């Protein structure tokens, strides 16, 4: 069956943030420039967060200054509070500001040191800042498929918070499987439920997964109409704020292989992709 083209956000920031040994700015910049040549729709390149929380991302502004200007790939920066958003909107090159809003109260506290109620207020401020600066606000619904803490979860709770965020002006959402506990059934339940409830919003999936479960999740997502995916080269990633053992991102190469079997043309530069894969061994080893 022919499937309409998909949009891929490559997530090197998600992959690098958990590395304890600091990756030199020059290596980060060269790696990101190689990824920019591939032709992804978006590149999740860095974050404006406290260096005490994520020391690996303390050089995001310096990295940004070294990125290739002539590219159609949109640059996405993660922020965790209004201060970070103010820093990010100063940079003309940044197109999208991503904020992780957690369906789980426990994870919101762990991830942004604020409650869900406080984070909703933060999103209001971020939307205003983005509107004034001509940026796009993107909200990740973190722990969107459940959580390991015992906090209440069901599709109606997810939709309740999506409705509040939508009312603030958020139109871009990524349903995030932060610890890899989604499965085919949850994807087939939740993704259509949300897209039907908010048809004028754009919905993507940011899935974490054990490698042996990735194919089933991706197939389920494609079957229910998802056309926007976040992935990371070689499957590196995971959220260091979530729990002690990290569940990696779905590997970009797994998605690309599946799309080929389903007859989906990505129009990516595969020579540039091969160059980025080869260079990645300097970052992840």
For 253, list phi and psi in degrees, rounded to 5: -65, -30
Q: How far apart are CA 31 and CA 254, in angstroms?
A: 20
- Reduced to 3 states (helix: H, G, I; strand: E, B; else coil), residue 253 is helix
Q: Which of the pair, 244 or 40, is modelled with greater confidence? A: 40
Q: At residue 60, does pLDDT exceed 80?
A: yes
- Reduced to 3 states (helix: H, G, I; strand: E, B; else coil), residue 141 is strand
What are 215-242's pLDDT values in tens digits? 999 999 999 999 999 999 998 865 544 4
Residue 214: CB atoms within 10 Å: 22
Q: Which residue do the tokens 């992840």 mark?
A: 284
Residues in the chain, how many?
285
Answer whether residue 201 is part of any domain.
yes
- Tell me the pLDDT of the chain averaged across its residues: 93
Q: Which residue do the tokens 């860095």 mark?
A: 46
Answer whether residue 2 is part of any domain.
no
Q: How far apart are CA 12 and CA 116, in angstroms?
A: 27
Smallest CA-to-CA distance from 203 within 119, 250, 139, 157 is with: 139
Answer whether residue 1 is part of any domain.
no
DSSP state of 55: G
Answer whether residue 233 is part of any domain.
yes
**CA dist 100 → 3, 53, 67, 141, 168 (Å):** 29, 15, 24, 6, 15
What are 92-114's pLDDT values in tens digits? 999 999 999 999 999 999 999 99
Overall domain count for the chain: 1
Answer whether residue 250 is part of any domain.
yes
Looking at 25-170, which runs of residues are DSSP E strands? 42-48, 74-79, 94-102, 136-142
Answer whether residue 19 is part of any domain.
yes
Full domain range(s) for residue 123: 7-282
| Predicted local confidence at residue 148, as pLDDT | 93
For the domain that residue 248 is a member of, what is the CATH number?
3.20.20.70
Q: Which residues contact 4 (CB under 8 A, 6 or more apart)?
A: 227, 264
Answer whether residue 66 is part of any domain.
yes
Give the residue-averaged pLDDT of 166-170: 98
Answer whether residue 77 is part of any domain.
yes
Q: At residue 23, does pLDDT exceed 60?
A: yes
| Predicted local confidence at residue 248, as pLDDT | 82
What are 103-149's pLDDT values in tens digits? 999 999 999 999 999 999 999 999 999 999 999 999 999 999 999 99
**CA dist 246 → 31, 50, 167, 177, 210 (Å):** 23, 20, 33, 12, 10
Q: At residue 2, does pLDDT exceed 80?
A: no
């Amino acid at each position: 069956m022919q499937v309409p083209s998909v949009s891929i956000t490559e997530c090197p920031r998600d992959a690098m943030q958990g590395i304890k040994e600091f990756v030199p700015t020059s290596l980060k910049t060269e790696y990101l420039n190689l990824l920019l040549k591939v032709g992804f729709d978006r590149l999740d390149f860095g974050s404006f967060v406290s260096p005490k929380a994520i020391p690996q991302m303390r050089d995001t502004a310096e990295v940004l200054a070294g990125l290739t200007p002539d590219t159609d790939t949109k640059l996405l920066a993660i922020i965790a509070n209004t201060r970070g958003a103010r820093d990010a909107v100063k940079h003309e090159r940044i197109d999208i500001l991503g904020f992780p809003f957690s369906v789980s109260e426990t994870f919101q506290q762990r991830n942004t040191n604020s409650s869900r109620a406080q984070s909703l207020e933060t999103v209001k401020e971020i939307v205003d800042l983005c509107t004034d600066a001509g940026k796009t606000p993107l909200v990740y619904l973190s722990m969107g498929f459940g959580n390991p803490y015992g906090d209440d979860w069901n599709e109606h709770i997810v939709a309740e918070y999506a409705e509040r965020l939508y009312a603030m002006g958020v139109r871009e959402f990524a349903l995030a499987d932060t610890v890899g506990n989604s499965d085919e059934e949850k994807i087939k339940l939740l993704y259509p439920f949300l897209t039907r409830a908010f048809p004028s919003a754009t919905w993507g999936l940011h899935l974490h997964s054990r490698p042996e479960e990735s194919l089933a999740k991706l197939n389920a997502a494609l079957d229910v109409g998802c056309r926007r995916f976040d992935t990371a080269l070689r499957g590196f990633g995971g959220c260091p704020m979530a729990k002690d053992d990290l569940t990696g991102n779905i590997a970009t190469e797994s998605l690309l292989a599946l799309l080929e079997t389903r007859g989906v043309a990505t129009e990516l530069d595969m020579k540039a992709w091969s160059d980025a894969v080869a260079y990645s061994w300097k970052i992840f080893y």
